[in-house]
């Protein structure tokens, strides 16, 4: 309080020279008198002074606001004028055509503007001329939507003022009050956004429309274009003719005043006021629509279209008796069985929905699934009622050819399974036939564009976007690629393939329930798709890097936290799996020099005026180095050259020199995969059953062979159509950071000497080339590989020292090396072929790179005074 009084005294006493001269007549000394000390007799003086000070502040504030308002208005008018100057105005003919266009469903296109189709809609519409519309309805619409319609020039001055004020203050940016002409412009020429910029464009175009078209033509167009909710069949309806027929069973020309008033009230909120539900039954909110009708009747009376008596009679009229009862007629089928149509439309809806949400300030994490669903509904409505154009990346000729090849080959996928199920909703027992399905996608490695795909065999579920267990197809992406990148291995570093004991009860084996019982070169392990080597490698990789971040960068986003917590992920063990799109995109990353390009199918979307409202922006991310990509290309080429996909060489019509790929199967042939990449494109394929009712239908044991042959048929067909895009003869340039080292095929290390159990063992002989990502291995050590226990290394070095201990002998099931050695004396030595195509022997004394072939002459052991054993190891393969 004391501070306040002190400030008042200072304010009273302070003043400028100007103030002094003004007061000089009453105060010759030019000094403003000070307030006397506060007493009960002069308190009013303090109050009065305080009021004077506050009044001065208020007056100054008002003046400031007025000044700011004029300045803001000037800025707003300037901004508005700049928008007008920069708004392209369609030519007269084009504008008239766009305004009158009633059939305005979006058009879908393949790449290069090849028409795919038109968006299917349950919206029914019949256009009529103005003289076929009841005068009552014309008057009702004008009175309700724009009572000054026949007097203004397309806009009302208040709309212009409101728009400018909105731009300055940010208040009222979503206000209504648009003229009928503006509403027509918004429906036919603009998007539904509510920004000031759009409002300015709306005003400009409305004035242009009013100049080019008569009031009658504008009103006629509005009556044909506007939507009016649903009819008694549950169909969405547009145009007054369908409204009259669908609600009252008459024509627009024969509507009485009460019926006309009800229809005229619908455009403000078609689905809020509609008398029918989606089934054609009467809506519970029917009274809301009738209340709206009463408002329309009052506005007709106020505008002079109804006399007082007519208004009273119309209000008392029972409109309910005029509504048609629910029709048993069928509605329009808007479902499509065409995968291309469904995929393009679905992705376009998602894109536009996110744009609509962004206009409302909702992006990223703020946009939850419920809100996105609501925006998708809005986007679908726009596509079904406006003349948008949706341009995709799909190549028409390739897409159609791939469907042909699939239909010709699908009989080979597997057998159909027929069974009965009980519908959980109706209790009805029905017969279901489940056929094997196929999902396949063709990607451009460099851009991520989806060039073509096969969604399935029956036009329902798109199997390129459903999650399935990747099986062994994940190994190059999750295990070997990161292993090269993180400098864990080179292309021919060796990895342990012995019975696993370090993962508790989890003890997987290789294909056919086998174990190789040796250290296997990485390229061989990948090409033969061994599980144990993959797990040993993944176990090291996941400790070196954030695997989850890496997988997201490479395009795989469907794996769960639980997946990442399990070692089994290294061989494809997942909760839900990955999609064909995702896994193919990951392979394309390695084919593209280590750069991931996000996949996309929608190139651009244009609005009815031709304006581009969405243009795909390429997103490219460096995931692994060029060196890693180069090395992995060679390792995956071995899969095609001599591994699990070697049969491709006899199926394809082009050279496989620059082809890389990987097969994959989940447990018991539940899922079968092959993803292959040329330098230009990647084609990923999956086969399996949907198992919709929790069945466990599996493919035949020959599924991988079938998958590879089918993949080859599709790739041959694609090659005939787009050979240049595939770039099959283009070799990847070797980066300077790729280091090549000659290593022993059994140790994956340069030949050298190692001290073991008091003896020096020297490795020498033929070597293989191992490539590394900007590093080279050091000298030979006793524990030279990835994974393996002390017992595994002892087995190896004892074998190298001359022991016949079964090293490199393949075992199966619960069989151990001791079991093999015990039975070897009772059997004849000889080679047998294992289930994976490699050679096995019960009395191996050496192991060559990539096989378990016994050869007593391949190992030469000599003794010297220094107890040195020299072993010459020959190799059956050399890395490219």
Q: Concatenate the DSSP letters of all residues of 138-190 into one string.
A: HHHHHHHH-TTTTTSSSS-HHHHHHHHHHHHH--STT-----HHHHHHHHHTS
Domain co-membership, 712 together with 750 = no
Contact 751, 744 (CB under 8 A): yes
The residue among 468, 467, 192, 463 whose CA lies nearest residue 342 is: 463
pLDDT band at 57 (very low <50, low <70, confident <90, very high): low
With contact defined as beta carbons under 8 Å apart, do 582 and 673 qualify?
no
* 347 assigned to some structural domain: no
pLDDT band of residue 627 (cuts 50, 70, 90) is very high
pLDDT for position 32: 45
Question: Given pLDDT bands bounded at 50, 70 and 90, which one contains residue 566?
Answer: very high
pLDDT at 55 over 70: no
Separation CA 539–CA 653 (nearest Å): 39
- Using the predicted structure, report yes or no on whether residue 741 has a pLDDT greater than 80: yes
3-state secondary structure 521-537: EHHHHHHCCCHHHHHHH
Based on the domain organization, do 713 and 769 belong to the same domain?
no
pLDDT above 70 (res 251)? yes
**550 CA to centre of own chain:** 18
Q: What pLDDT shows up at residue 166?
A: 55
- Torsion sign, CA atoms 223, 227, 229, 231: positive
Looking at the fold, whether 607 and 756 belong to one and the same domain comes out as no
- Least confident range of 25-34, 508-517, 572-581: 25-34
Residues 307 and 441 in one domain: no
Please check whether residues 747 and 722 belong to one and the same domain.
no
Query: Distances from the Cα of 534 to the Cαs of 338, 481, 568, 569, in angstroms?
Result: 40, 11, 10, 10
What is the mean pLDDT of the segment spanning 159-169? 56
Residue 879 near residue 634, CB atoms below 8 Å:
yes
- Phi and psi of 170, rounded to 5°? 80, 5
Is the pLDDT confidence value at 188 over 60? Answer: yes
Averaged pLDDT for residues 535-549: 98
530 within a domain of the structure (yes/no): no
Q: How far is CA 247 from CA 286, 317, 697, 784, in A?
A: 12, 16, 51, 83
* Each residue's pLDDT tens digit, 673-724: 999 999 999 999 999 999 877 788 999 999 999 999 999 999 999 999 999 9
Task: Give the number of other Cβ atoms within 10 Å of residue 835's Cβ.
Answer: 13
- Tell me how far apart the alpha carbons of residues 777 and 793 are, in angstroms, rounded to a whole number: 18
Burial of 517-528, coded b for 16+ CB within 10 Å and e otherwise, reads bbbbbbbbbbbb
Least trusted range by pLDDT, from 72-81, 323-332, 604-613, 694-703: 72-81
Instruction: Read off the pLDDT band of 415 (50, 70, 90).
Output: very high
Statement: residue 868 has pLDDT above 70: no
pLDDT computed for residue 96 by the predictor: 77
Give pLDDT, residue 82. 55
Q: How far is the C-alpha of 844 from the C-alpha of 846, rounded, in Å? A: 6
Q: Are residues 287 and 432 in the same domain?
A: no
Task: Classify residue 708: in a domain, yes or no.
Answer: yes
Q: Distance (Å, rounded) from C-alpha 446 to C-alpha 682?
A: 10
Show the beta-strand stretches assigned E in 645-717.
Answer: 660-665, 671-677, 681-688
Q: How far is CA 185 from CA 92, 207, 265, 269, 523, in A?
A: 14, 10, 19, 18, 64
The β-bridge partners of 264 are: none
83 in a domain, yes or no? no
More confident residue, 184 or 73: 184
What local confidence, expressed as pLDDT, does residue 120 receive? 84
Phi, psi of 512 (to 5 degrees): 80, 15
Alpha helical stretches, state H, 464-611? 475, 481-485, 522-527, 531-544, 547-553, 561-565, 580-591
β-bridge pairing 759-765 and 868-873: parallel
Whether residues 696 and 567 fall in one domain: yes
Contact partners, residue 522, CB within 8 Å, separation at least 6: 480, 483, 489, 490, 491, 492, 493, 494, 495, 533, 537, 635, 748
Q: Identify the top-confidence range among 417-421, 585-589, 663-667, 826-830.
A: 585-589
Q: CATH code at 235? A: 1.10.3810.10
DSSP string, 673-692: EEEEE-SSEEEEEEEE---T
Give the β-pairing of 602-606 and 514-515.
unpaired
Distance CA 320, CA 299 (A): 21
- Minimal CA–CA distance to 90: which of 99, 81, 77, 82? 99
What lies within 8 Å, CB to CB, of 641 at 6+ separation is 527, 649, 656
Distance of CA 784 to the CA centre of its chain: 44
DSSP result, 205-222? HHHHHHHHS-HHHHHHHH
Closest CA relative to residue 741, chosen from 780, 689, 695? 780
Residue 464 has phi, psi (to 5 degrees) of -85, -15
Given a cut of 50, whether residue 336 has pLDDT beyond it is yes
Residues 668 and 565 in one domain: yes
What is the torsion angle, in degrees rounded to the nearest 10, for the CA atoms of residue 295, residue 297, residue 302 and residue 306? 180
What predicted TM-score, i.e. pTM, was given to this entire model?
Answer: 0.74
For residue 554, what is the domain's CATH number?
A: 3.40.710.10
Q: Residue 98's pLDDT band (boundaries 50, 70, 90)?
A: confident
- Residue 26: band (very low, low, confident or very high) from pLDDT cuts 50, 70, 90: very low
pLDDT at 97: 74
Handedness of CA 138, 140, 141, 145 (dihedral sign): positive
pLDDT on residue 100: 75
Whole-number pLDDT of residue 58: 59
Q: Which residue has the higher pLDDT, 248 or 44?
A: 248
Same domain, 689 and 757: no
Band (285; pLDDT cuts 50, 70, 90): confident
Q: pLDDT, tens digit, for every residue of 524-533?
A: 999 999 999 9
Torsion angle of alpha carbons 479, 485, 486, 492, nearest 10°? 70
Asked whether residue 584 carries a pLDDT value surpassing 50, the answer given is: yes
Instruction: Between 664 and 859, name the one with better pLDDT.
Output: 664
Domain that residue 293 falls in: 122-322
Indicate whether 492 belongs to any domain.
no
To the nearest whole percent, how much of the chain has pLDDT over 70? 78
Residue 510: DSSP 8-state: B
810 CA to centre of own chain: 45
**pLDDT exceeds 60 at position 754:** yes
Which among 618, 624, 616, 656 has a CA at the least distance from the CA of 640?
Answer: 656
Of 18 and 249, the structure prediction assigns the larger pLDDT to 249
Least confident of 13-22, 174-183, 222-231: 13-22
Domain membership flag for residue 292: yes
289-328 pLDDT tens trace: 999 999 999 999 999 999 999 999 999 999 999 999 998 6
Residue 54 lies in a domain: yes
pLDDT band at 523 (very low <50, low <70, confident <90, very high): very high
Mean pLDDT, to the nearest integer, of 786-792? Answer: 96
What pLDDT shows up at residue 109? 97
pLDDT at 85: 52
Rounded average pLDDT over 610-630: 96
**660 in Cβ contact with 645 (< 8 Å):** no
Give pLDDT tens digits for 802-836: 899 999 999 998 899 988 888 765 554 444 333 33
**How buried is residue 327: exposed, middle or buried, by Cβ count under 10 Å (0-12/13-18/19+)?**
middle
> Which of the listed residues 726, 747, 770 is the one where a domain comes to its end?
726
What domain count does the chain have?
Answer: 4
What SS3 string covers 62-80?
HHHHHHHHHHHHHHHHHHH
pLDDT band at 464; cut points 50, 70, 90: very high
Give the model's pLDDT for residue 404: 97
Contact 162, 186 (CB under 8 A): no
Q: Which of 275, 296, 322 is the last residue of a domain?
A: 322
Tell me the helix, strand and coil percentages in the chain, rounded to 5: 45, 15, 40
Whether 616 and 747 share a structural domain = no
- Picking from 48, 68, 88, the residue at the C-terminal end of a domain is 68
C-alpha span between 794 and 366 (Å, rounded)? 58
The residue among 658, 636, 657, 648 whose CA lies nearest residue 715 is: 648
Q: Closest Cα to residue 195, out of 207, 186, 205, 206?
A: 186
Average pLDDT, the chain: 84
Q: How far apart, in whole angstroms, are the C-alpha atoms of residue 221 and residue 66?
A: 43
Structural contact between residues 499 and 515, judged by C-beta atoms closer than 8 angstroms: yes
Q: Are residues 704 and 755 in the same domain?
A: no
In contact, 578 and 465? CB cutoff 8 Å: no
Helix (H, G, I), strand (E, B) or coil at 824: helix
Instruction: Give dist(CA 410, CA 164) in Å, integer.
Output: 63
Instruction: Quickly state the pLDDT bin for 850 (edges 50, 70, 90).
Output: very low
Give the CA count within 13 Å in the CB-facing half-sphere of 697.
Answer: 21
pLDDT band at 111 (very low <50, low <70, confident <90, very high): very high
pLDDT at 854 over 90: no
What is the pairing mode between strands 681-688 and 671-677? antiparallel
Q: What are phi and psi of 553, to 5 degrees?
A: -65, -35
Q: Say if 155 falls within a structural domain.
A: yes
Most confident stretch, 2-6, 94-98, 495-499: 495-499
Q: Do residue 710 and residue 784 come from a single domain? A: no
C-alpha dist (Å) from residue 517 to 457, 503, 536: 43, 17, 13
Residue 729 pLDDT more than 50? yes
- E strand or H helix at 706: helix 703-721
In angstroms, how far is CA 96 from the centroid of its own chain?
38
Average pLDDT rounded to a whole number, residues 454-478? 95
Q: What is the C-alpha separation between 366 and 304, in angstroms, rounded?
A: 50
Residues 6+ apart with CB under 8 A from 132: 241, 251, 252, 253
């Amino acid at each position: 309080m004391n501070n306040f009084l002190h400030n008042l005294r200072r304010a009273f006493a302070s003043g400028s020279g100007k103030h002094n001269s003004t007061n000089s007549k009453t105060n010759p000394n030019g000094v403003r008198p000070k307030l006397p000390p506060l007493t009960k007799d002069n308190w009013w003086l303090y109050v009065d002074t305080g009021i004077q000070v506050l009044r001065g502040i208020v007056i100054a504030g008002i003046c400031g606001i007025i000044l700011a308002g004029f300045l803001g208005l000037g800025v707003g008018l300037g901004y508005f004028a700049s928008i007008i100057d920069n708004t392209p105005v369609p030519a007269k003919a084009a504008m008239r055509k766009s305004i009158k266009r009633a059939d305005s469903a979006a058009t879908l296109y393949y790449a290069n503007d090849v028409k795919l189709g038109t968006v299917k809609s349950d919206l029914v519409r019949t256009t009529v001329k103005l003289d076929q519309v009841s005068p009552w309805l014309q008057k009702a619409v004008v009175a309700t939507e724009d009572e000054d319609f026949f007097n203004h020039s397309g806009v009302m001055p208040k709309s212009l003022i409101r728009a400018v004020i909105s731009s300055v203050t940010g208040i009222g940016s979503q206000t209504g009050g648009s003229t009928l002409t503006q509403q027509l412009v918004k429906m036919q020429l603009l998007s539904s956004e509510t920004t000031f910029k759009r409002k300015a464009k709306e005003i400009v175009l409305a004035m242009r429309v009013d100049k080019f078209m008569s009031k009658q033509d504008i009103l006629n167009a509005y009556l044909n274009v506007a939507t009016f909710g649903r009819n008694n069949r549950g169909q969405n309806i547009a145009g007054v003719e369908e409204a009259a027929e669908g609600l009252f069973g008459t024509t627009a020309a024969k509507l009485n005043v009460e019926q006309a008033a009800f229809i005229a009230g619908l455009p403000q909120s078609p689905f809020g006021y509609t008398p029918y539900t989606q089934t054609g039954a009467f809506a519970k909110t029917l009274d809301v629509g009738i209340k709206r009708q009463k408002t329309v009747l009052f506005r007709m009376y106020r505008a002079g279209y109804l006399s007082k008596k007519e208004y009273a009679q119309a209000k008392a009229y029972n409109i309910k008796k005029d509504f048609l009862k629910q029709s048993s007629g069928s509605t329009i089928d808007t479902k499509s069985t065409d995968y291309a149509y469904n995929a393009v439309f679905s992705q376009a809806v998602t894109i536009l929905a996110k744009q609509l949400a962004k206009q409302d300030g909702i992006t990223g994490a703020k946009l939850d699934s419920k809100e996105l669903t609501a925006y998708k509904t809005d986007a679908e409505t726009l596509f079904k009622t406006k003349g948008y154009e949706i341009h995709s990346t799909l190549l028409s000729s390739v897409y159609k050819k791939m469907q042909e090849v699939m239909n010709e080959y699908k009989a080979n996928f597997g057998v159909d399974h027929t069974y009965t199920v009980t519908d959980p909703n109706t209790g009805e027992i029905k017969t279901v036939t489940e056929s094997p399905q196929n999902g396949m996608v063709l990607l451009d490695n460099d851009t991520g564009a989806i060039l073509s795909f096969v969604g399935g065999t029956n036009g329902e579920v798109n199997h390129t976007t459903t999650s399935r267990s990747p099986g062994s197809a994940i190994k190059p992406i999750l295990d070997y690629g990161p292993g090269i990148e993180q400098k864990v291995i080179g292309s021919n570093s060796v990895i342990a393939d012995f019975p696993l004991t370090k993962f508790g009860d989890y003890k997987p084996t290789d294909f056919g329930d086998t174990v190789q019982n040796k250290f296997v070169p990485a390229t061989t392990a990948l090409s033969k798709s061994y599980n144990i080597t993959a797990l040993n490698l993944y176990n090291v990789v996941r400790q070196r890097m954030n695997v989850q971040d890496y997988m997201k960068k490479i395009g795989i986003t469907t794996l769960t936290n639980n997946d990442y917590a399990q070692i089994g992920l290294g061989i494809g063990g997942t909760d839900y799996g990955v999609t064909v799109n995702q896994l193919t995109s990951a392979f394309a990353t390695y084919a593209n020099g280590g750069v991931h390009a996000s996949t996309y199918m929608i190139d651009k979307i244009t609005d009815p005026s031709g304006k581009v409202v969405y243009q795909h922006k390429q997103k490219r991310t460096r995931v692994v180095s060029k060196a890693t990509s180069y090395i992995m290309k060679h390792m995956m080429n071995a899969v095609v050259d001599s591994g699990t996909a070697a049969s491709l060489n006899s199926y394809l019509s082009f050279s496989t020199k620059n082809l890389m790929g990987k097969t994959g199967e989940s447990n018991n042939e539940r899922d079968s995969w092959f993803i292959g990449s040329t330098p230009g494109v990647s084609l990923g394929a999956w086969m399996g059953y949907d198992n919709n009712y929790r069945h466990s239908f599996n493919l035949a044991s020959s599924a991988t062979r079938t998958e590879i042959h089918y993949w080859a048929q599709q790739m041959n067909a694609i090659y005939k159509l787009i050979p240049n895009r595939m770039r099959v003869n283009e070799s990847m340039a070797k980066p300077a950071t790729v280091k090549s080292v000659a290593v022993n095929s059994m140790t994956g290390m340069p030949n050298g000497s190692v001290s073991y159990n008091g003896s020096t063992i020297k490795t020498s002989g033929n070597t293989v080339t191992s490539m590394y990502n900007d590093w080279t291995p050091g000298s030979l050590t006793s524990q030279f590989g990835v994974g393996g226990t002390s017992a595994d290394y002892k087995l190896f070095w004892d074998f190298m020292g001359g022991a016949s201990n079964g090293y490199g002998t393949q075992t199966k099931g619960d069989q151990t090396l001791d079991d093999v050695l015990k039975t070897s004396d009772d059997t004849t030595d000889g080679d047998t072929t294992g289930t994976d195509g490699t050679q096995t022997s019960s009395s191996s004394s050496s192991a060559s790179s990539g096989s378990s072939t016994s050869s007593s002459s391949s190992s030469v052991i000599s003794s010297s005074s220094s107890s040195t054993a020299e072993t010459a190891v020959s190799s059956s393969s050399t890395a490219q």
